[in-house]
Structure formats: structure tokens, C-alpha cells
Structure 1
Amino acid sequence: MRAARSLAALGTLAAGLALAQAPAPQAAPAAAGTPPKVLRYAFPTAETGFDPAQVSDLYSRTVTPHIFEALYQYDPLARPAKVRPLTADGMPEHSADYRTWTVRLRPGIYFADDPAFGGKPRELVAADYVYTFKRFADPAVRSPAWTWLAQFGFLGLEGLRDAALKDKRPFDYDTPIEGLKALDRYTVQFKLAKPAPRFITGALAGSDLTGAVAREVAERYGADIPAHPVGTGPFVLKQWRRSSLIVLERNPAYRDVRYVAEPAPDDAEGQALLARFKGRRLPMIDRVEISIIEENQPRWLSFLQQQADLIEALPPEFVNQAMPNGKLAPYLAQRGLQAYRNKRSDVTVTFFNMDHPIVGGYTPDKVALRRAIGLALDIESEIRLIRGGQAIPAQSPVVPNTWGYDPAFKSENGDHDPARAKALLDLYGYVDRDGDGWRDMPDGSPLLLEKATQPDQVSRQHDDLWKRNMDAIGVRIRFKPAKWPENLKAARAGTLMMWGVGGLAADPDGLGTFQRFHGQQIGGQNMARFKLPAFDAIYDRLDAMADGPERNALFDEARKLAVAYMPYKAHTHRIATDMAQPWLIGYRRPVFWQDFWQYVDIDAAAQQARMQP
């Protein structure tokens, strides 16, 4: 999230950066006789669906912002990130206390054609965003992002949700509320219960979640809406075989949107991309084909065999082969392959279910157990042996490249110290009481950890390292494998003891990291089910406070509490090595956002020539 004091400056910048948009009945398809421009690559994990209100996984949320559009977006080339209008007509107006935000929509934006509209063009209007935000509160939608949205305190929204739950009746979308209003056809207003200086980046600039959904579409398809995404964005869903293949095609009704960006003056790569693409109509490609290839070796081989144009986050076991000493291997360079290395705005963690009778709880003995497990984990070995050196150890859960991240911060979280782990366990009574060689609980009952995992090769490597690390301190552990979507569902329901996940920043503010610790977000982002009043008080102050030295000091307090109670063991901040075929032009890894397909081009003739047997 960006500082409140800079919003005026952002508005000035955005006025010059806004994409040129005008009503247009058709987006230009590939010229007759020319091959279509097709981007092909693979996800390492299966998607869950394409309804923004119902998805929380990274891969589904990579698809949705290419179909749906929020009010604002991030400049594709600006580093650090800059916000600019997408469907909004200029930057928002806000009250002095940051509780009221008013946005004017650009007229003449239309949803993609769908039977739900009865064969008539359907214009995007302010009421669509009112409906979109209300859907998160509808109990029938079961949105995992509700706890995230609820923190903004839209006046009257939680009351609508409570009424539906209490009376066991359908959510009342037609009752007007103060917090979400369509002032006229093109003006939407948000009123919040508390100040939100970063509301624009926190809620309005995220097409993966708050892209506009039409009520007619949601009501027509009901429970099947994840398979029928209909938005105003540059692509439409053409084909979907669950956990196998996702195909998107250029939206033929997409308006006239041109490539405009503002890279930093000293950003040579960004300046070159701007010079090449400035003024080009978006999207520049015709089709996107995504396969689901969960195992690393087949995904890498698919890329080497030119069955994919891009491989994101090259599997660690192949990094040294492809990039020895940080340089592209000669045999790959001869093929014209392109390599990109970036420090990701992410963190990998293991969460402990704070409601679980073994690893949960807030008493000193329970805290000691979690801290001992954390100290026993050999993160350097994880980075070297499993991640191929493509990560740095995390000192706290706060994500790099965000407000609140301090590269100089050092804590116990970054230590590997089995001797100290053993001493902690001994001190709090986790000793071998029955002589079987394994530690027991202080009351004499068995101490057995159970960690959820996935049935793939990389997960098995992680499991092996965990087993060695736990054996070294005399703690038994077993692993419960399941598919990733199944583990996600169980984690949100609070039925897992432990599970390892990754978190990617969704905006420039480090407060997003602490959603995982916020008591109001249990069942959503807070998989650990951590609830500590002292931490919640800090979170609420951080949320309402403008950026500056005082807020940075408060971030330090939050980091220390997070490490001390350790509901999450932060492992690493990953480094991504992406590789592309020579005919893919314009790729640049996004920092906080997920959409980039509309900003890349394909040399289709070169692609087809290289692919000939």
C-alpha cells in the first residue's frame, strides 16, 4: 500500500499514465492468413475456479484479473509500483479522514457477450461494483476473502450478512447501505467505519479479487459461476478442463486500450519495452493456453521441448543446470532463450493450528514447542538442497519490497539451533517419559506432529528434511498427503495441525503479511487461527495510520510479536528465475499484481518455424 500523503501525487501521475480508452465494438483479431499469437505455459498446481469472490489460490487468481477488471491497476513497468485508473475515470476523491472514497467510472466499458445479457450489450456501471463488493459478504458465496474485506468496515455491509445468517434467508442485495452506493450511473462511493489511507491499493487495485461481476451472470449460473467468468477484461474463458487445461482467448468486444507505462528513467529494460510497445493496442496476443503440470521435471522438459513459451519460477533442481554461476548456460543461450531473475515479494511459511491441542495455545509451554520446532528447521539446507539456492532465509513473515520490510531486521526466526531447541523442550517438560526414544508431552501423552503435505516430488523432499530435523531433536512426525486444493480447504476449516504454504504480496503495503495474524481473519487469510488482542490492537493502528516513521516503528513491534508467539514459522523469501522462448516479447514479472498476458507479444512466425520437426 502506498502512503496516504502520496495519493495526490499518484493522481497527477495517473492522469498522464491512464490507458487511452474509447468505445470499440471489436478488438482487432489476427490478420487473415497470419498465425494466431498463442502464449503457452504451465501452472505447477491446479486451479480451483474463476469466480473472484470464491478463489484464494495464486493460480486461479492469475487467471481472473485477465477476465475481470477492478477500478484501478498497477503500471506494468513502474518500479516501485504506481497505481493508475483501469475502469475508473481518474483517481479517487477521499475525505480528509480517509473514510469516504468516491470514484467516477469511465463510460462506454462493456462486459463480454454472454447469454445472461439476452443478446444485448451490457455496459459496466457503478452498481456493478456495489454488487461485486456485496458478494463477498453473502454467506452463500462462502468467500474466503470475506475476512479480508470485512476489515475495511463498509458501513452496513456486515449487518446485511448478519441478517442473512440469523434469519437463514438469502442475502439481500437490494437493500441500500451507506457503505456501498451508486450515486449515479457512473459514480460509486465507499464509506468506511474507520480511516483507510491505503484503500486504493488495499481494495480498489486488485482485478483478481474486486474485478466487476455482473449480477445477471451470477444469478444465471448460480453455484456453477466459477466455470462461467464474464468480465470486462481483455480475455474470455474459452475452454476449461479442471486440473488439466485452461484456454483464454482475446475478448472480441474489448475496448480500445493502448500500451502506456512509466518505467523509471534509469530502468533500461523498462525503457526499451516502452519504446517498443508504446501505443500498441491491447491485448497483443490472441490466445493463452495453460496446462497443469505438477511435477517439476515434466514441466521443465515441456519448456525445453518448446511445448511452452514461458516457464515461471524455474524448478530449483534445474537452476544450476540452466543458470550456472548466475549466467544462462551456453546451450540455452545458443537457442536464444531469455532468462529473468527477480527477488519475489513473497514468503514461505509453515503454520501451526493455534486451536490444536498439541501445537496450539498461548501458554509458555506451547510457545516453547513451536519455537523449538522452528529452531530445529535447517532453512539453509532447504535453500541449498531443495530450492537450488533460489531463496534467502526469512527473519520475519514480512514480505520484501513492501512497506514494513526491514532487510536489517534479525531475529530468532532466522536461526538454526538444534541445541537450543532441545534445551527449550527439556525446560518445558517435553521429555522421553516412557523410554522409547521419543519426546512426550509434559502430561506424558505422546508428542506426535502431523504435517499436511502434497504427493509430489518437491513436497517429498521437504518432508524428508523435516523428518531429519525433527529426528535430531527427538520429536516424532508423520505426513498426511493430499492434493493442494484439498489441503487449502482443510486449512481454512481448521482441521490441519500444520501445513506449509507460500504468500505473495498483493499490494505495496506490508500490512498484508499480518492479515495472517489478524484475529478477525480466522477462516480466511489467518490459517493459523491466531488471536492475540495485543496483536490485533497493533494491526488496527497500522491499518488506520498514515505511512511514516511512527508506522515503521509499529511494524517492528508487530514483527517481534509474530516471531515470539510463532503461529507461523517463516522459512524463506524466494528468488524467481523465469525463462522464455526467443519469440516471447515483453515479459516482465509483476511485483504485486497477477496480470501480464495483455502486455506481452508473440512472434508467431518465429514460434511456428522453431516448432517445426
Structure 2
Amino acid sequence: MKRLLSAATVVVGLCGLSGWAWAGPEAAPAKGSPDEKVLRYSFRIAETGFDPVQISDLYSRTVAASIFDAPLQWEFLARPFRYRLNTLSEMPTVSADYKTFTFKVKPGIYFAPAPEFKGVKRELVAADYVYSWKRHYDPMWKSTNLYILENFKILGLSELRKELMAAKKPFDYDREVEGLKVIDKYTFQVKTAEPMPRLVEQFTDGSTWGAVAREVIEAHGLKAMEHPVGTGPFMLGQWRRSSRIELVKNPHYREEFYSEEAPAGDAQAEAAVAKLKGKRLPLIDRVEIAIIEENQPRWLAFLNGEHDILEEVPAEFATMVLPNNQLAPNLQKKGIQMVRYPRADVAVTYFNMEDPVVGGYEPDKVALRRAISLGVDLDTEIRLVRKGQAVASQGPIAPGTWGFQKDFKSEMSDYDPARAKALLEMAGYVDKNGDGWRDLPDGSALELNIATQPDQLSRQLAELWKKNMNRLGIKTRFTPAKWPENLKAANAGKLQMWGVGWSAGVPDGDTFLALGDGKSKGQANKSRFDLPEFNRLYALQKTLPNGPERMAAMTQAQRLMVAYAPYKLHVHRIFSDLSQPWVIGYHRNVFLRESWKWIDIDLEKRRQALGK
């Protein structure tokens, strides 16, 4: 395999498949041949790269989840959600006190071909997972997911990180620690300082906890984002940053067959199972992903048959495509299929708690954030901008995850400009110089600077923000940039305010409370909120089994987040995906980032429909 790197053509991590004779169990059709099954797809936001330790955005993780394997995996169709073995030979052994977890890797799983393996099939072993998870503790990688492992209080790793950082030494991957170690070739063990009843289910996400090969990482160093090599069903073919991503079938992928079970009453899933049961995975040969930031060209590409799937029907087309939340009759006649689902997520605007204008814990600062929140017209946002494809958030925890309470009500969903103005007046945010805009209590100018993106939805949300803040007499400025640039700046604490979405990788509310955890600053916690009582409650609920005591701690933590308002909680979104009539088996599991290996293409039906 050749890897080409050309800055002149802005092609990074370009893998050419010429020069190698793959020894895979089934020879894939030649690229471009009539028999090649290609899934054509689009992202509306550009990726950042494909190294599990460095990525946190949805789009990069969607790709990485098909390249890297976590030990466990959520079942594609099962409802209620349940996980199963992925690269393990048996379910992890968990001690009675929830402090010791033993994982046994299944022999005979191999990494995708890579030059670093020097022509030898490289087997996945326990040491690969130990190395991969240790990387999150290495300061060099600036892992945005370190907080997850640190919250598990894995014995010895945080201490090793602090020791080496203090001594200004490189991270020592070869030093054994009690909390994460190899037992034998295929067995590794995790030990925690406190009970962690839900630790195992976290390790279902290959985009974060997937195994990498040490020799590949060491060969590429800081360019690891451009050279992903895993044991998953696909491998990186070509990548033109922010433009095009191509994945090809991994010829070393293990023998795995379609074994999904359809939920009762789900006709679409039942039809897929009937057609695909027992077939070798992955079912397609290649995935082509175009980065198309504007919604209209994305929609037209799907409508014209250039793309096989349209993930997330754009809100501006919802009334045309989904009248009364049903697929439009003209699309039904074409045989287009729809999957509609609530995503376990929350859309927020965060306030940087370290910013001199909107940050801080003093009463006047809290009043400012609460007033801004009360001045946001969520009803208009849901009706006009999101076209009814969302429900208002009361707290950060999303429906469909443990910890969500239907009867939890807060002022986050309230739109009350009169109360907002009263709060501002009481806290001293008044017009002191007569220019028509409110000033800070000390007389200096009050201006919000909100980061945004140059796409249509972001523009519409910005326009609504401006109208809302104008009603309150608060001057607002918007600074547009590409999403990856905003993410980098947000992680570094350089943005005053920014609107983002946060999704759960497992059906548990912990990930939403992590938005306020002080230890997660610059990672999940973009607001940099750091309140001791909240931190205590967050740490407490992690150690408790699911039950009334944990629910009480999570509810109180939510109330604190609402009271101090480091975030304006907007909505929990509802999405609808469309697939062409020649796509077989498309469905959506919101906790499973990987889905492409279970999808098939009816080539004859596609040819007939497109006249090709």
C-alpha cells in the first residue's frame, strides 16, 4: 500500500491501493466496476481527522467508528438498546464491588494492511487496548476525552500523567500501572479507585476507545490524524480535507455475518433482516463522503440520486419533505424510505465562565446569563428555524437516557423578556451613556460576541439571537468561522459564546452532566464551569448504581446547572433520515456511530432508477 501526501493538492493521508495483493477472504470488485457496491453520502460539517485520541466532533467520529473497534458494540436494531461482544471472546468480568474489570480479546482479529506492518498480518492483542487508552493520558495528544477515563479514577494513570508532566518528561507507555495492565497476550484489566457500575458500557464506541497499533502511531507522530489504521470493517482510502472522504472495505476484516434482530412492529427493520440475515459483513465495498455545508445542494444531490442517504433532513425543507411529520406522497411514490428518531442530544449555547463579560459566579454575572436565557424565544426557534423538529430542553439530560425525567421543569424553556429586563435592571445592566444599549455595571460597554458558522442554519439562529437580544437592549456581534476552527478555539477557552450540540454515546445521562464537570474543562465542558457542589454531585452519581439515590444526585446537579446558567439549554432535536429505494437495511441507532457495514445496495434497482 502506498501512502501519498501532497500539500499542493490539499490531499492528506491519501492511501492508494495499488502495489499490494490483498489476501482477503473475498476479492472486492475493482474500483469503478459495475459490480462495486458504493454508498454515497454527505456531511454538512467538515471533519477534523481520524485519530481516536484527538477527535471529539460527530463527523470525524462517524468515520473513525468504522475504522476502529471498541471491545463492545451496541446492537444495530435492538430496542431497548443492548450491547454485545465486538472484539472480545466473552463478556467482561466485573468484580462484585464494581472496581475490577477483566477483558479478553478474541484471537484471530487483524488490523487493516499498513506499510508499518512490513507485509505481515498484524493481530489485535490486549496490549493494543492498553496502549490506546493510555494515549488519552499523554499530554502530547491533548485528548478531549481524557475526562471520561479520569472520572473512572483508574488507578495510577492520572498520577503517572501528573508526575511526568511535573518532571517535563515524555509519557512512559511501558511503565505498568495497577489500573490498566496486560494480564496475558489476550487479556487486560482495568481497576478503579471507586465503584464504577457503568464503566463497561462506555467501551462500546470505536471512535474513542478503538484499538490503534503502536507502531503506526509512532511512525507518524503528530500526523496520526492522517493515518488511521484499525481493525474495523473499513479503512481510509482517500481523503481530501474538508472536501471528500473515501473508505474502502478492510480486506483483513474478520468473519462476521448479519445477525440483527428486528424490534417487534418495525416493518422496515423486519424487511431488512429478511433480506440480509446471514450475509457476510461489510455488505458494501466502498463509502464516498462529500462535505457539503449548504443544505440546498445536499438536498438536491439526494433528490437527483447522486447520494444514497440523506442524514438529517434540513430543517428548512421539513415542511415540504415531512408534512405533518410524514414522508411527502411524491417521495413515497419514488420508493424513498424514511427513518425518524429523537437523537439523545442537547443543543446549547455556552457562556465561557472565565470570560470577563459573561463569566463568573457573582450574583450580577448569574443574573446576566439568566436574563439572556429568558430572552431567547425558544418557541420561535423551534417553529420557524427548526421547523418543529425539536422539543424544548428543561435540563441538559436528553430523553432516551437514564436520568431523564419527563416531569422535570425549569426556567430554561421560559421566554419572558419582562423578567429578563427586570433582572438586568436589578443587577445594574442599564444604558449609562444614552446610546440605547445596556452597559456593564461599571459603565463599560456590554457586547456579546457569539461564534458561529457560515451555513444557513447558523445564519438563521444568529438572526434570531440578534432579534432576541435587541429586545433586551443588549448589543450582539457574531464572528463566523469554520466549525473545526471554532472547536479548536472553544477547547482552548478562547470563545465567549458558541452554540453546539452534545450527543450521548450510551443511553445514560452522565455524558450531559459532564458538560458542567470542572475536571472536563476544554473537553466536554466548553463553558469551563467549575462549581464545587456540582462537581461533588457529578462524582457521586458516577459511583452509584441506577436507582433513586443516583436519580436524586443527577436531578440536583441539573438544578445547579440551570441556576448558575453556564449554558443556555435550547432543544433536544428530532431527526429524519432518508434513503433511496435501492438502499437495503438503513436504520438508525443513535448510540451506534458505526452503521455502514449493515447496509447493502441493490445495484440493479439503482441502475434501473438512474438509467445507468
Bin of the TM-score, shorter chain as denominator length = over 0.9
Q: Is the 8 A contact 2:514 2:524 kept in 1?
A: yes
Question: 272-281 or 77-86: which moved more?
Answer: 272-281
Q: Following TM superposition, by how much is the alpha carbon of 1:265 offset from its aligned partner in structure 2, in angstroms?
A: 3.7
Task: Choose which of 3, 14, 28 in structure 1 pairs with 2:26.
Answer: 28
1:45–1:484 Cα contact (<8 Å) kept: yes
Offset of 1:201 from its aligned partner? Answer: 1.3
Report the counterpart of residue 242 of structure 2 in structure 1: 243
CA distance in 2, matches of 1:190, 1:612: 56
- Give the AA of the match of 2:586: Y
2:28, 2:329 → 1: CA distance? 35
Give SS of 1:290's match: strand
The SS at the match of 1:183 is strand
Query: In the aligned structure 2, how far is the partner of 1:157 from the partner of 1:215?
Result: 18
Q: Does 1:442 align with 2:441?
A: yes
Shift of 1:170: 1.7
2:251 maps to amino acid? P
What is the alpha-carbon distance in structure 2 between the residues aligned to residue 327 and residue 66 of structure 1? Answer: 31
> Matched residues, percent identical?
53
CA distance in structure 1 between the partners assigned to 2:552 and 2:223 by the alignment: 46
Give the match's secondary structure for 2:530: coil
5 Å-filtered alignment, 1:279-290, equals: 279-290=278-289
Q: 1:282-313 CA distances to partner (integer Å, 9 max, x unpaired)?
A: 10011000000001111111111111000111
**Kept after mapping to 1: 8 A contact 2:448/2:476:** yes
Query: Aligned partners of 2:276, 2:333: CA distance in 1, in Å?
Result: 26
Pick which of 466-475 and 154-163 moved more. 154-163
Aligned partners of 1:145, 1:192: CA distance in 2, in Å? 17
**SS of structure 1 residue aligned to 2:349:** strand
Amino acid at match of 1:57: D
Tell me if the contact between 2:181 and 2:189 (Cα under 8 Å) persists in the aligned partners.
yes
What's 2:7 paired with? none
Query: 1:26: Cα distance to partner?
Result: 2.1
Alpha-carbon offset, residue 31 of structure 1: 6.4
**Counterpart-to-counterpart distance in 1, 2:539 and 2:457:** 38
Contact kept? 1:25, 1:254, Cα under 8 Å: no
Deviation track 1:249-270 (CA, whole Å, cap 9, x = no partner) reads: 1111111101112444444443
Alignment deviations for residues 5-36 of structure 1 (CA, whole Å, 9 cap, x no partner) = xxxxxxxxxxxxxxxxxxx9624345697521
1:107 counterpart residue number: 107
Equivalent positions of 1:337-356 (< 5 A) are 337-356=336-355
1:388 match: secondary structure = coil
**CA distance in structure 2 between the aligned counterparts of 1:201 and 1:194, rounded to whole angstroms:** 17
The residue type paired with residue 100 of structure 2 is T
Pairwise mapping of residues 167-566 of structure 1 onto structure 2 (< 5 A)? 167-202=167-202, 204-566=203-565
Residue 578 (str. 1) matches residue 577 (str. 2):
yes
Instruction: Write the distance in 2 (CA, Å) between the matches of 1:401 and 1:410.
Output: 17
Residue 325 of structure 1 and its aligned partner are, at CA, apart by: 2.1
Greater mean deviation of Cα atoms: 257-266 or 555-564: 257-266
Q: Which secondary structure does the structure 2 equivalent of 1:256 belong to?
A: coil
Instruction: Return the offset for 1:271.
Output: 3.5
**Separation in structure 1 between the aligned mates of residue 263 and residue 609 of structure 2, nearest angstrom:** 34
SS of residue paired to 1:273: helix
Q: Distance in 2 between matches of 1:279 and 1:160?
A: 47
Counterparts of 1:76-155 in structure 2 under 5 Å?
Answer: 76-155=76-155
Distance in 1 separating the partners of 2:61 and 2:432? 48
State how far apart, in whole Å, the 2-side matches of 1:543 and 1:272 are.
Answer: 40
Q: Secondary structure at the match of 1:449?
A: strand
CA distance in 2, matches of 1:524, 1:44: 23
Does structure 1 retain, via aligned residues, the 8 Å contact 2:269–2:585? no
Deviation at 1:240, TM superposition (A): 0.2
Q: Report Cα offsets for 1:461-503 as digits up to 9, x if no partner.
A: 1111001000001111101111111110111111110000001
Deviation at 1:326, TM superposition (A): 2.3
Deviation, structure 1 residue 138: 0.8
* Residue-by-residue CA offset, 1:30-52 (whole Å, 9 max, x unaligned): 56975211100100000000000
Alpha-carbon shift at residue 592 of structure 1 (Å): 1.3
The 8 Å contact of residues 76 and 588 in structure 2, kept in 1 or not, is answered as: no
Q: C-alpha separation between the residues in 2 aligned to 1:523 and 1:193?
A: 24
Cα distance in 2, alignment partners of residues 222 and 86 from structure 1: 28
SS at match of 1:282: coil
User: In 2, distance between residues paired with 1:176 and 1:341?
Assistant: 47
Q: Normalization by structure 1: what TM-score?
A: 0.94
Q: Distance in 1 between matches of 2:45 and 2:255?
A: 34
Runs of 4+ in 1 over 6 A off after TM superposition: none
The residue type equivalent to 1:356 in the other structure is D
2:92–2:104 CA contact under 8 A, matched in 1: yes
Q: State the Cα distance separating 1:338 from its structure 2 match.
A: 1.1
Residues 262 and 95 (structure 1), Cα distance of their counterparts in 2 relative to 1, 3 Å cut: same
Shift, 1:273, TM fit = 2.8
Give the conservation status (yes or no) of the 8 Å contact 2:348–2:571: yes
Say which SS state the counterpart of residue 53 (structure 2) adopts.
Answer: coil
Contact 2:101–2:191 at 8 Å: present in 1 too? Answer: yes
Query: Counterpart of 1:15?
Result: none
2:16 alignment counterpart = none
Q: Which runs of 5+ in 2 are unaligned?
A: 1-21
Q: Distance in 1 between matches of 2:209 and 2:339?
A: 30
Q: For the residues of structure 2 that align with 1:416 and 1:224, how far apart are their CA atoms? A: 47
TM, length-normalised to structure 2: 0.94
Structure 1: which amino acid aligns with 2:57?
D
Determine the C-alpha separation between the residues in 2 that align with 1:360 and 1:131.
38
In 2, the alpha carbon distance for the partners of 1:378 and 1:176 equals 54
Q: Is the 8 A contact 1:35 1:605 kept in 2?
A: no
Worse-superposed segment, 125-134 or 192-201: 192-201
Q: What is the aligned residue count? A: 589
Distance 1:475 1:286 in 2: 54
